Amino acid sequence: MLNILVVEDNQVERKNLIRMLKCLNKNLNIFQATTGEDAIKIVNEERISLFFLDIELPDFSGLKIAEKIRSMPQYELTYIVFITTHVYYQLEAFKKYHCYDFIEKPYKQEQVSKIFDRLIRGVIQNSNTNQAIRFEIKSCILKVFIRDILFIESQGKKCMVYTKSDQYTIPNMTMKQVLEKVAAYQFMQTHKSYIINLENIYRIEKHEKNAWPVYFKEYPLVAYISHKYRDIFLEQYLG
């Protein structure tokens, strides 16, 4: 799951923003902080993929938190969104702390959704470049890069992982276990037997009654989207 840090001292505003974020994506692990001190502690203990920082806090400003974050090599390019009611902070934040965007109070669902959607796609694409999933196969551990996986199919008590260049059989692996492994990436269950990498979809054929076949570029096999998953698939895939 993706780790997000929301730093906001106003309880109502903080809960409202967290509610909006969870409505947009349920596969989030959201950390909360009400002060700069609490925020820095979380930053040191957890690996955060996206920051929402209130500029005005009781101990020190969100700008100071951003300064601390940017001084840490692992967060040099991590996305930061400032929360503010004061537009005049924007120029300093963009130039000095490489802030991605602003959310102005009071929060608007449309604004949060627009910013969040772009950021999450960016986070996932960046993580997919070098990230891999590991599976245990008999006496060895199989490492498969996220970017190479097309889809995963459940076949009884085993799962088949289909990549651009090969196929792997993973024994004693349930769909639930697979979903836990790919939760932080752009994967989605589209059928009782299929989990698809949304980034590698090439074409989808829509059939009125039957499952929709999903095609991948220059690849002979297809995955499927069942009627049960169509609406949620379209909502997530088309944004």
The predicted pLDDT at position 53 comes to: 92
Helix (H, G, I), strand (E, B) or coil at 48: coil
The predicted pLDDT at position 92 comes to: 63
Element at 3 (helix H, strand E) = strand 2-7
The predicted pLDDT at position 105 comes to: 80
Higher pLDDT, 181 or 189: 189
DSSP codes joined into one string, 112-179: HHHHHHHHHHHHHHHHHHH-EEEEEETTEEEEEEGGGEEEEEEETTEEEEEESS-EEEEET--HHHHH
CA distance readout (Å), 68 to 1, 60, 92, 193, 228: 24, 12, 15, 45, 46
What is the torsional sign of CA 217, 222, 226, 227?
A: positive
Q: What is the pLDDT of residues 37-85, one digit of tens each?
A: 999 999 988 888 899 999 889 998 888 899 899 888 778 878 888 887 7
Closest CA to 229 of 203, 198, 200: 198
CA atoms within 13 A on the CB side of 221: 16
Are 128 and 199 within 8 A, CB to CB? yes
Taken in order of first residue, the domains within the chain and their CATH numbers are: 2-129 (3.40.50.2300), 133-238 (2.40.50.1020)
- Taking every pair of Cα atoms in the chain, the longest distance, rounded to a whole number of angstroms, is 60
How much is the pTM?
A: 0.54
Q: What is the pLDDT of residues 76-98, one digit of tens each?
A: 878 888 887 766 656 666 667 77
CB atoms < 10 A from the CB of 168, how many?
Answer: 15
Q: Evaluate if residue 132 carries a pLDDT over 90.
A: no
End-to-end Cα, the chain, rounded Å: 19
